Amino acid sequence: MDRMRPVLSGFFVLFLLFSPAKTEDQSVIQALVVFMEKLNPGSMQTTPNWGWNTSSDPCTSKWAGVTCDKDNETVKKIVLEKLNLSGTLDFESVCKVSNLLVLSVNFNSITGNLQQEVSNCKRLTHLYLSGNQFSGSLPDSITGLPNVKRIDISNNGLTGQLPDFSRLTSLLSFLGQNNQFTGPVPRFNYRQLDGFSVANNDLSGPIPDDTGRFDANSFAGNPKLCGKELPVQCPVKENKKSNFRDVLIYAGFAVLGCMVLVLLAILVFKKKKKQNDVKTHLSVKARNGSDSGRSSGSKNSRARSEFSTTSVESGGVSSSMVVLSSPVVNGLRFEDLLRAPAELIGRGKHGSLYKVKPDNGVPLVVKRIKDWKISRDEFKKRLQKIVETKHPNVLPVVAYYSSKQEKLLVYEFQQNGSLFRLLHGSQNGQLFGWGSRLSLASSIAGALAFMHHELKSDEIPHGNLKSSNILFKDDMEPCLSEYGLMPINPHDPDPTNDQTTTPFKADVHAFGVILLELLTGKPVQDNGSGLSKWVTSIVKEEWTIEVFDKALIVEGASEERMVVLLQVALRCINSTSTPPTIAEISAMISSLKEEEERSMTSSDP
């Protein structure tokens, strides 16, 4: 029996080594299950590999939305975005995960108040609650998160006053726009923040004096706020100790002002008298003439927009306007576009862009294309093929018009703007980190690959791919606009339009430039050749890290994965070799995105 003891001990050790171990305490697993039950996942529970039950482990069983550390020992991230969750958020349960760093439930339908227990998540660095239906006030305890860096509570129904965030010394961004907060703008360590917005609330009083880093967009939509960056200026406190000299100076200005007013009145009186004389003369002349010259115009008729005037003069507007079946247009007629005022919002070498809002309708965008040598029938056939090729990340055409002089395309106006504006303009407090940029690249590559595949036989590429033609829908999902409106000219001296392979090669090159734009954060001039040469030269000198946007470096984005995406971009723009197809590019980026999502974080993400 004594001889058997070492053998049994050996078996026991092997059992301990090779048996599946629980990475979290059973009490933590139970708390997570309760947390999910209160979120009311509904049909999501039938998703393969969903997990979230007490009979499995969140790390070794890879529960949906859960990321653990590199050793699969403890939960680090819980990301449950766009899952149609409709319950309540139970901080008391989820904060029992002692090493939780990231909690994101963006873009669901979660209701209820935010609990005071949020402060129990002591190691939390990222809290994302945007795009839900939270109500009530923001608990003061949220300022008790000692390690939090990013807070996004935008696009909810939160009310009450915002607490004092100045004690959060690690906070880098706060997004609270599109809620119903009242009271003053609270104190923050503004000089430390790289992202901030409290736009579209009901805040009042002056904006803090030390917020020079953030423009009016961060505070817009609060009519009771005042400040030098805002339309409403704060009242200046008067100094009651004005001396006699100041009084004399002001009195002198007043006398001088009166003299100027008198002179202006005399000039106006003389001008009006002259106009009356002219009107009398014209009236007498009209009475002596024929009555057939009466004006048929209306005093209240609006001036037509540039595209409307040209289109009308070309004749046959109603018969040439094709309105597609879409709930957006809702019975729109071409005459509605003619009557609606148009605002010029962009002009390029291929045409102009107008924002139009017909009476009782949604805002639309009209793309006006001039001097395109294509027959009406060919244009119609081309548009029909594009319209039939539907993809969720391609902005659909809702109507179009064709004449000899010009072509018009009508789209729904996207109020969240373009990728170009988000990268190089005002971000309105929106974060655009590495994960968001990689996700956008993946979505656009996928959409472009789909369109290329479906329209390959018709040889219809995008033709004008650039960051200003990538727009954001209401949910900030990216979409391609103006697909197929510019035929690639084989005689164009632009080297990116080389037609030696396929008519889609220029799209690949243009997409590579967009990837460089995402990675460097630098705007593109002309066709992007300047940015391409700069990046290539830096990489050649083996200073690759200098290429990347500093915001991504500060964020702590994976340098390894950024380098991989950079290599994909360089393959796209390399004119000395055959570029990959957009389908191959899409597969590469999709794989990179999956790797990013699977990445194990042992420290601050």
Handedness of CA 515, 516, 521, 524 (dihedral sign): negative
Strands 135-137 and 157-161: parallel
**Which residue reads 């017909």 in tokens?**
358
Phi, psi dihedrals of residue 112, rounded to the nearest 5°:
90, 180
456 is known to lie in a ligand binding site? no
Concatenating the DSSP letter of every residue in 123-152 gives: T--EEE--SS--EEEPPGGGGG-TT--EEE
Instruction: State the Cα–Cα distance between residues 280 and 302, nearest whole angstrom.
Output: 28
Instruction: State the Cα–Cα distance between residues 333 and 43, nearest whole angstrom.
Output: 42
Ramachandran sector of residue 413 (left: φ over 0; alpha: ψ -120 to 50; beta: rest): beta
**Contact indicator for 493, 450 with CB cutoff of 8 Å:** no
Ramachandran sector of residue 373 (left: φ over 0; alpha: ψ -120 to 50; beta: rest): beta
Q: What distances in angstroms separate CA 434 from CA 63, 453, 472, 597, one per listed residue?
A: 24, 28, 17, 12
Task: Please state, as a whole number, how many other Cβ atoms lie within 10 Å of the Cβ of residue 555.
Answer: 17
Q: What distances in angstroms separate CA 544 from CA 76, 424, 523, 563, 568, one per listed residue?
A: 30, 22, 18, 8, 14
Residue 343, beta-bridge partner list: 355
**Which residue reads 């702590």 in tokens?**
556
Output the six-digit token pair for 470: 């990538």
Burial 78-104 (b: 16+ CB within 10 A, else e): bbbeebebebbbbbbbbbbbebbbbbb
Q: Which residues contact 537 (CB under 8 A, 6 or more apart)?
A: none
**Which residue reads 């390399």 in tokens?**
574
**Contact indicator for 192, 168 with CB cutoff of 8 Å:** no
Strands 399-402 and 321-323: antiparallel
State the binding site for ATP: 367
State the binding site: 367
